């Protein structure tokens, strides 16, 4: 399966379980690996034959910046579901880093993989 990657999408959202984390938006970094068939787009050079990742990115930004989830796991699941609304995407791997979440660590992160259901 071919892949489209969106790397290092830096956004801000309310995320976390502690009272201090619920007051102000925090930085997160999202990486996506979209599994899709790029054969037709490779032949046609036509946007209609591929995933419009700019439009997808805008939808993700809108959802993430308006969300207030407690867990990165929940946010990752939400992003995966949003990606899979696009039927051209067969599967998606979502990785979300939360920089500074743990002392002495660059970030804490979750990674999930979801695919279209038959």
Map out the domains of the chain with their CATH numbers. Answer: 2-115 (3.30.1130.10)
pLDDT at 118 over 90: no
- In this structure, which long-range contacts are made by residues 39-42, counting pairs with CB atoms below 8 Å and at least 24 apart in sequence? 39/2
Which of 57, 58, 70 minimizes the C-alpha distance to 26?
70
Mean pLDDT, rounded, for 7-19: 97
Mean pLDDT, rounded, for 33-55: 98
Catalytic site positions: 98
Mean of pLDDT over the chain: 97
pTM: 0.95
């Amino acid at each position: 399966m071919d892949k489209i990657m969106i790397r290092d999408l830096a956004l801000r959202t309310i995320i976390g379980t502690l009272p201090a984390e619920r007051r102000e938006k925090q930085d997160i970094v999202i990486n996506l690996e979209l599994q899709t068939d790029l054969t037709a787009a490779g032949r046609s050079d036509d946007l209609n034959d591929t995933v419009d990742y700019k439009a997808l990115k805008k939808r993700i930004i809108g959802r993430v910046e308006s969300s207030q989830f407690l867990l990165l796991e929940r946010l990752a699941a939400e992003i995966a579901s949003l990606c899979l609304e696009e039927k051209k995407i067969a599967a998606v791997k979502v990785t979300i880093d939360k920089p500074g979440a743990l002392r002495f660590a660059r970030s804490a992160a979750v990674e999930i993989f979801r695919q279209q259901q038959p």
